[in-house]
Structure formats: C-alpha cells, structure tokens
Amino acid sequence: MRRAVALLMGAAAHDLRTPLNTMAGWLQVLQSGQELPEATRERAFKGLQSAVAQQTALADGLAQIAFVSAEGACPEIAAVDVEGALADALAAMDGEARAKAVTLAFAPRDVRLESDGPMVAALLRHALAASLKFAAKGSRVLVDLAPLPDPVSGGCLVSMTVEQSLLPAAGIAAILHYVAGVERAKPNGVGAAFFFGVGQGIARFIGASIEVIEGDGEAKAVVLIRLPPGRR
C-alpha cells in the first residue's frame, strides 16, 4: 500500500508540474509586451484554460483520495442521476478535449441508481480524464451509458471508447493498475496513471469497477465502468 501511495503521489507531482510549466510559458509570452497575432493570443488563453482545468482535476483527485482513505469514511447512499453526472464530467473535460482537438460524443439516456453521488461523479470525471490522455489528436471519445441487464442487482455500465488510441488496450490496462503500470508508462501515461489511481480508489470505496478492453476495430480502446447500486 505504501508503494502504491508513493507512486500515486509521484504521478500527481509530475502532472502538477506539467500544467504549471504551460501556464508559466504562456504568461511569459503574454507579458512580453510584444504585439501578438490574434491566433497566438487565442492559443495562449486556450493553453491557460486547459492548464487550469488540469490543476483543478488534480486537486479534486487528491481530495477524493484523502477522503476515501480516511478512517471511518463510508459512502452516503442517495438517488444519483448518472446521466447528469456524465454530462457534468463531459463539460469539465471540454477544455482539455478542445486543446487536443478531440471530440467528445455522448448519447444521453435517463439512468438513475442508489449510490454516493459525489463519488460517482468524481469516478466518471477521472475515468474520462484518463481516457482523454490516450486519444490521438483529431479523434473522438464516445461515451455511452446503459443499465445493467440484471434487474435484481441493478446498476449501470458506462463505456468510454477512444476511437484512435495512442496505446493499445493492453498497455492502457497496465497503466490502469498504476502500481504495475506507472513505471513503464508511455508519453501521457503518467498523468493517466494518476487519474486511474484515483478512479480505482473511488471505485473500491463505492463497490464499482474499472477495466480496459479492446474496441471493435484497430486502435480502439474502451474504458468500462460498472456502477452497482449502493447498499444502505
């Protein structure tokens, strides 16, 4: 466990430094006093917005891990609008997706379950953030939501399909298990290891699961999140 925490903190430190470097670089350009082309100014502001979004996601992730690791912490079960939580996750990642010219596509479906709403929302945000790390520039991430077929156990399944992945599904699956994967992570993999690590911690807390499988076609990878109903 100590090794897992050390690797998770190392991944977080790496990803904190990356957006800080981006912000410092663009602020230096904007403060140079030079007359900048409109396209350069637009790139600068988009870069700053993306960096702020990354910092926010990292801070949120660290707070979530601190909470679920706290002694005595337990889920607070209530009705959860999963469709709404997914829409919020997509909105939160919109700036990051635009910076990579990645299209986020989502077919809304009214799905609700009993669970810990804030933790479900955090899990979906971090899984989507990790999925975006592997999306090639100009590609798409398709998000789908469906109730699980078993009417007794209930719950729902969320899939995030990366249509053109920078890594094969097997490589992403290794990074999903950050203890084994973070040390051999490819470019973009360290950040994904952090988001996956947070997601895994939240998933265990609420009884959910995350896995990565091959998509139907070359260069496709699918992140699957199973959300069971919580137990009161």
| Mean pLDDT in residue range 208-221 | 85
Which has more confidence, 51 or 153? 51
The pTM assigned to this predicted structure is: 0.77
Superfamily grouping for domain 2-227: Histidine kinase-like ATPase, C-terminal domain (3.30.565.10)
Domain spans of the chain, in order of start: 2-227
- Rounded Cα–Cα distance for residues 189 and 196 (Å): 10
Say if residue 2's pLDDT is above 70. Answer: no
| Mean pLDDT in residue range 47-61 | 75
Which has more confidence, 136 or 4? 136
Exposed/middle/buried for residue 152 (C-beta within 10 Å: 0-12, 13-18, 19+): exposed
Q: Is residue 173 within 8 Å of 212, Cβ to Cβ? A: yes
Tell me the pLDDT tens digit for each residue of 188-204.
555 677 788 888 888 98
Confidence of residue 13 (pLDDT cuts 50, 70, 90): low
